[in-house]
Amino acid sequence: MASKTTPAGINKNLLILHFTVFIWGFTSILGQLISISAVPLVWYRVLIAMVSLFLYFKVNKTDFKVSGNTLLKLVLTGGLVGGHWILFFASIKVATVPVTLVCLSSITLFTAIFEPLINKTRISKLEIVAGLLIISGIILIFKFETQYTKGIILGLASAVCASLFSIINSRLVKHSAAPVIAFYEMGGALFWASIYLIFTHGFNRSMLLKNSDIGYLLLLGTACTSLAYVAGVAVMRELSAFRVALITNLEPVYGILMAFLFFGDMNKMTIGFWIGAVIILSTIFLFPVAKTRISKRTAR
């Protein structure tokens, strides 16, 4: 059963979500630092996350059994999760961290469209306007950053997957505990990634890790995946998928700043990129203000 929504509960979950998004912002840095390609990287990531969650269940003697129907849903959703991360890291490998993260901001538009369709509710005009502004920013980036076209397409595809599994999880978390959802979705991601690697003969020397990769992957799989993913799913008990997507779009802010500190990636970007990024990030920050004012006017 879903818990009753309270202002205190919402504020607590917003704080947890902001902290989680900050951690997610660091994943792009780790993706750049890890030497292996996107699919093996995600395979190791979800394996480590799944093992850490399994140990958590055993230490806390938590029952994590689910019905066959629920298991099927979680494994299929795990395919979207794995797809999102593979596309995300592939985009980083062929573009830059800032380009990938700004493309990921289109989650807001995709969620504004998909959430009402999946939940059979009315589409919010304000959410669509916000989404269109974000798309205009992405178009600007496309125009000026043509050398990163492949990375931009991969980043947008990653955003579609993220939007879909976020909406699905906002429904699943009403009936299952967040750690249980995370465990089986990590298992689903591992399963589908393994199938892909088997059919493409990917289990080869390309899976070998450098010494530095091991530490980065352990950090990515535990703090940035199992811990952050559980927190990100848990807040959906009281926050809508669109609101989560909107706050998740702060990830580019954190990620771009960290990319500058670690790699100096900001120096590679054109003025067109920054105009597009400003449009996108301004929309993210101004949307809650506009929504609050419209709600007050409607209430009068």
Domain count for the chain, please give it: 1
User: What digits encode the pLDDT tens for the residues 43-88?
Assistant: 999 999 999 999 999 998 888 999 999 999 999 999 999 999 999 9
Question: How far is 180 from 184, CA to CA, in rounded Å?
Answer: 6
| Alpha carbon distances (Å) from 276 to 94, 141, 145, 205, 229 | 20, 6, 11, 40, 29
Q: Which run of H or of E encompasses 78?
A: helix 68-94
Higher pLDDT, 299 or 103: 103
Residues 6 or more apart in contact with residue 56 via CB below 8 angstroms: 62, 179, 226
The boundaries of the domain holding residue 228 are 7-293
Whether 187 is in a domain gets the answer yes
Whether 133 is in a domain gets the answer yes
pLDDT at position 1 is 41
Residues 6 or more apart in contact with residue 14 via CB below 8 angstroms: 235, 239, 247
User: What digits encode the pLDDT tens for the residues 81-120?
Assistant: 999 999 998 998 888 777 887 788 778 778 878 888 888 8
> Would you tell me how many other CB atoms lie within 10 Å of the CB of residue 47?
18
Q: Which of the four pLDDT bands, split at 50, 70 and 90, describes residue 187? A: very high
Whether 298 is in a domain gets the answer no
Whether 254 is in a domain gets the answer yes
Whether 300 is in a domain gets the answer no
Whether 216 is in a domain gets the answer yes
Higher pLDDT, 17 or 55: 55
Alpha-carbon dihedral sign for residues 12, 17, 22, 26: positive
pLDDT at position 3 is 46
User: What digits encode the pLDDT tens for the residues 237-284?
Assistant: 777 777 777 777 677 677 777 777 776 655 566 777 778 878 877 887
pLDDT at position 145 is 66
Residues 6 or more apart in contact with residue 141 via CB below 8 angstroms: 99, 102, 103, 152, 272, 273, 276, 277
- Return the percentage of the chain with pLDDT > 70, whole number: 91
Q: Specify the residue for token string 């400003």.
A: 278
Question: How far is 84 from 105, CA to CA, in rounded Å?
Answer: 13
Q: Which run of H or of E encompasses 36?
A: none
CB-CB contact of 80 with 168 (8 Å): yes
Dmax (CA) of the chain:
66
Whether 232 is in a domain gets the answer yes
The model carries a pTM of 0.78
User: What digits encode the pLDDT tens for the residues 137-170?
Assistant: 877 777 776 788 899 899 999 999 999 998 998 8
Region 167-195: mean pLDDT is: 92
pLDDT at position 229 is 81
Region 11-18: mean pLDDT is: 80
Query: How many helices (H) and strands (E) in the chain?
Result: 13, 0
Q: Is the pLDDT of residue 219 over 80?
A: yes
Q: Is the pLDDT of residue 2 over 50?
A: no
Whether 267 is in a domain gets the answer yes
